[in-house]
Structure formats: structure tokens, C-alpha cells
Amino acid sequence: MPTVHTAIRAKMGSTPYYVTTMRVSDLVQIARPASEHEEWATTGLTERLQRELNSSRVRTEIAPYLANSPDRFFGALILLLDADEEPEFESFTELAKTLPKAYRSAMSRDSFGFLTIESGDRIILDGQHRFAALREVVIEKAVEGSHARDVGDDEVTIIIVPRISIQHTRKIFNKVNRYAKNTSRGDNILTSEDDGFAILTRRLADDDGPLAGRNHKGEALVNYKTNTIADRSVQLTTLSAAYETVRIIAEHYNMADDLNEKKTHVRPSDDVLDAGDEQVQGWWTTVLDGMPKLKYGRDNTKLLPELRAKDADYGLLFKPATHMVLFQALSQILKRNPNLTLEEAVERTYHADWKITSPLWRDVLINSAHNILTRKENYNLSADLLTYLVVGDKMTPNDTENLRLRVAAARGDDEGTFKLPEHLPR
């Protein structure tokens, strides 16, 4: 079907291309993803893996975002024109001889005009998941949302690349995908305005939040650049770890679904955010007040390397992984014994042996080289062990025995002779 578009003509290297916009309702009718193109079905394994669609991601993440978000926005899609003939481009300067001199000067390269495409397949070369989500909302109408009916009228930017050869096309496809870089987790937490967990995490480290402020070097108290803290670091924790504590607190109060971007797809209401903020800031404040050594480290950043040392009495408390474990354990403790207050739970956990070299954590959270074991199962096992130390009397015999066997297995005790330590004092 012939189509005409206002476009900008350009060239990069040996590749000519055109930039235009299309209404979504038109785009989904004339284009298709590379995964549905017969010739691409015979390509090599690597290319097939690169172009295959993750249908679950389309249905559960991208399409609901489109259908529910009034602020939805996508970057440009790259569309391959797979045709035998070149599209016809007519510049404005050719069509409008009476243009004012200033306008003619601005368009001296004949870059602005009309692009006529007579025939050929329109194949989505980059942005297949976004395109599939648009089609899911507009054509399939498989996703409900307050803005689902509006998506068809949206305009998206399209970069049209004429096919030169299949080798040329595959090279473009490969490079576009190879050099695309996902934003880091820290960047996502810092910038997301729809993820309630991220918003509350930023509030923890902003303004008057319990993790706000800077260390003696002028750095933020919370490291947002990496997910780990070096032994010599003078930062207290990481943004990623703080984010996980927010999620744990939200789950504890059954608020997670209202804050989880993958569930809501839009920014939570101010009431939901304020309610979550009250709990999150309250928990962190209580933990810092109930663990004087941790608070001391926050307020005396120059001493953090010394406080974090493997032979320091509370060294483990200055590891971001421990913060996640601690908050998970506190949630479990309060659920095991609803009569306990958060303050009491924090006080009891503070009596645990927090030395990095303590036998308590060997092969559970700390390896033989005294480094953190970073697998999720280690975090879960550590939280369960800490829960047992505080409210083991509230656990069933089966739960206690299961925990004992899990710790024994983590330590390579095939015979299961390991014995759980005594409960912490009340």
C-alpha cells in the first residue's frame, strides 16, 4: 500500500535513512516485527535469539504501561523498508520555488521533504517489543487500561532504512542491539517517577531522610553508582540495598502492589506514597536509633572503614547485604510474634554476633575469605537464621528442623550434625 510521509533525509556512513512520524494506528497496520518475516526465519541461531520476542514482557509490562499511562513515551523505532525499488524523496525546495530566502538557506541540503513508499515490506528492525505492545493494545485490544483507546492516536518517531543488502541489514541489526546499553539499576531508581519503591528510596536519601546527607568527603551517604561497598568506603550503604529494604517494608504492610510499577504501570497516588513513606522512614529511623553503632557510623563517616573491618564487633552491620537481611528478618520476626514492637525486635537483633568472622555467619552469609555470599538463597537463609535467634520459640518444630538442615547443607555438613545456636537474650 503506497504511503506518503513528511520526512528528513540523512545519511550515516554508507547508510541512507529517513526520519518521520506515524500514527500508531497506521504503523501497526503496515509494519511487522522481524520475527514474523519469512526470510529472517532461516538466519543463524544468534540472530534468531536476538530478534525473538519475549511475549510475557510485552503482555505484562510494556502493553499495560501504554494502556494505563497518560505520560507514555517511546524512543524512535527503526523500520526496514524491504523493497526492490528505492522510496521516492522530493525536497521542499524542489516543490516550493517561492520559499523565502531564509527558509531556502536552512534547507540547502534538500533534507526536508516528502517520502513516497510505493511497495515493500515494512519490518521493525529495532523496537520489536515496543511495536508488539502497540499492536497488542491497538489491534488485539488484549490489554485494559484507562488510556488504551488513546494509544492508536499517538504519534511515534520512525527511522526508515531502505534495504541495501541482507548482509547490510543484518549488520545494522546486530550493531543496534549489541551497542544498546540498559540503564543501570541505580539510574532506574534515581530517575523513575512511576516506581513507588524508587520514589520512597530517594526520599530516604533526600532532604531530611534518615539516610540523607553527605560524608566528610562530600559524597552522598548512599552509594548510587554501584551495588557494592568497598571495605575502605566512607559511604554507609547502596541505593540498591536501600531499595530492597523499601520493598520489604512495603510487603510487610501489604502495600507492595500499590507501589510496584510492574503492577500499577503509573505513578502511585500521593496518599499511597505518603503512607509508604511514613512506614519506610519510621523503620529506618527505628533501626538506626536501636542500633547505636550503626547510627554512629552514619554520623562519623570517616570511621566507617574501621567500623566495617572484619575483626570489628559490628562490622557486618556496615555491609549493604546485611541491611537487606536485617529488614527481611525484622519483618519475619514481627509476623512470628505480633506482640513484639519494631523497637523490641530491633533491640533483640542488635544482640546478635555481628562480627564478620563470627562462626554464626560462616557459609550462611560469609564465605571462608570473609566476603559476602551474594546469592538470594544466602540472604534468605541468613534472614531465617536471624529470625530463629530472636523468636525461635514461636517456630514450629518442623520449621526449626528445616532451618537446621538448611544451615547444615550450606556448611557442607552432609551428616546433618550441625546444631542451631542458642536464642538471643530477651
Question: What's the rounded mean pLDDT across residues 43-57?
Answer: 59
Tens-digit pLDDT profile for residues 146-191: 999 999 999 999 999 998 877 777 777 777 777 766 778 888 898 8
- Number of Cβ within a 10 Å radius of residue 184: 15
pLDDT of residue 42: 47
| The pLDDT value given to residue 37 | 66
Asked, for residue 154, whether it belongs to a domain, the answer is yes
**Which of 9-18, 46-55, 130-139, 229-238 is the least confident region?**
46-55
User: Nearest-CA neighbor of 159 among 75, 79, 88, 82?
Assistant: 79
Instruction: Tell whether the model's pLDDT for residue 78 goes beyond 60.
Output: yes
How far is 346 from 330, CA to CA, in rounded Å? 7
Whether residues 136 and 233 share a domain: the answer is no
In a domain, 343, yes or no: yes
**Within this chain, do residues 248 and 154 fall inside the same structural domain, yes or no?**
no
In whole angstroms, what is the distance from residue 38 CA to residue 79 CA? 16
Cell of 379: 540472604
**Is position 61 within any domain?**
yes
Q: Give the rounded percent of residues in the chain with a pLDDT score beyond 70.
A: 91
pLDDT for the residue 40: 52
Indicate if the pLDDT at residue 43 is higher than 80. Answer: no
How many angstroms separate the CA atoms of 267 and 58, rounded?
20
Q: Are 351 and 365 in contact (CB under 8 A)?
A: no
Amino acid 49: pLDDT: 36
Last residue of a domain, one of 148, 178, 208: 178
Q: What is the pLDDT of residue 107?
A: 61
Query: For 338-372, how does the pLDDT look when each residue is reduced to its tens digit (9 = 90+)?
Result: 999 999 999 999 999 999 999 999 999 999 999 99
Same structural domain, 200 and 96: no
On whether the CB atoms of residues 268 and 258 are closer than 8 A, the answer is yes
421 within a domain of the structure (yes/no): no
Higher per-residue confidence, 257 vs 99: 257
Q: Which domain holds residue 125?
A: 3-178
Query: pLDDT value at position 324?
Result: 98
pLDDT reported for residue 44:
47
pLDDT at 109: 64
pTM over 0.75? The answer is yes
Residues 364, 398 share a domain: yes
Residues 271 and 241 in one domain: yes
Q: Is residue 416 part of a domain?
A: no
* pLDDT score at 126: 87
- Tell me what the pLDDT averaged over the chain comes to: 89
The answer to whether residues 154 and 232 belong to one domain is: no
Q: Is the pLDDT of residue 48 over 50?
A: no
Q: Are residues 244 and 390 in the same domain?
A: yes
DSSP state letters, 40-79:
GGGS-HHHHHHH---HHHIIIIIHHHHHH-TT----PEEE
Q: Note the pLDDT of residue 108.
A: 57
Cα(94)–Cα(113) distance, integer angstroms: 9
Q: How confident is the model at residue 266, as a pLDDT? A: 87
pLDDT over 80 (residue 397)? yes
For 58-70, what is each residue's pLDDT tens digit?
Answer: 999 999 999 999 9
Same domain, 111 and 251: no
Q: Are residues 238 and 287 in the same domain?
A: yes
Judge if 28 and 69 occupy the same domain. Answer: yes
Given 143, 178, 213, the domain boundary residue is 178
Is the model's pLDDT at 99 over the cut of 80?
no
Task: Inform me whether the pLDDT recorded for 50 exceeds 50.
Answer: no
In a domain, 113, yes or no: yes
Please write the tens of the pLDDT for every residue from 230-263: 999 999 999 999 999 999 999 999 999 999 998 8
pLDDT-based confidence at residue 1 (cuts at 50, 70, 90): low
Domain boundary among 150, 178, 206: 178
pLDDT at 391 over 70: yes
Q: Is 374 a domain residue?
A: yes
Both 150 and 284 in a single domain?
no
Residue 153 counted as domain residue: yes
Q: Would you say residue 41 has pLDDT above 50?
A: no
Q: Are residues 172 and 189 in the same domain?
A: no
Domain count within the chain? 2
Distances (CA, A) of 188 to 132, 225, 241, 257, 273: 23, 11, 14, 19, 18
Q: How many whole angstroms separate alpha carbon 83 and alpha carbon 118?
A: 9
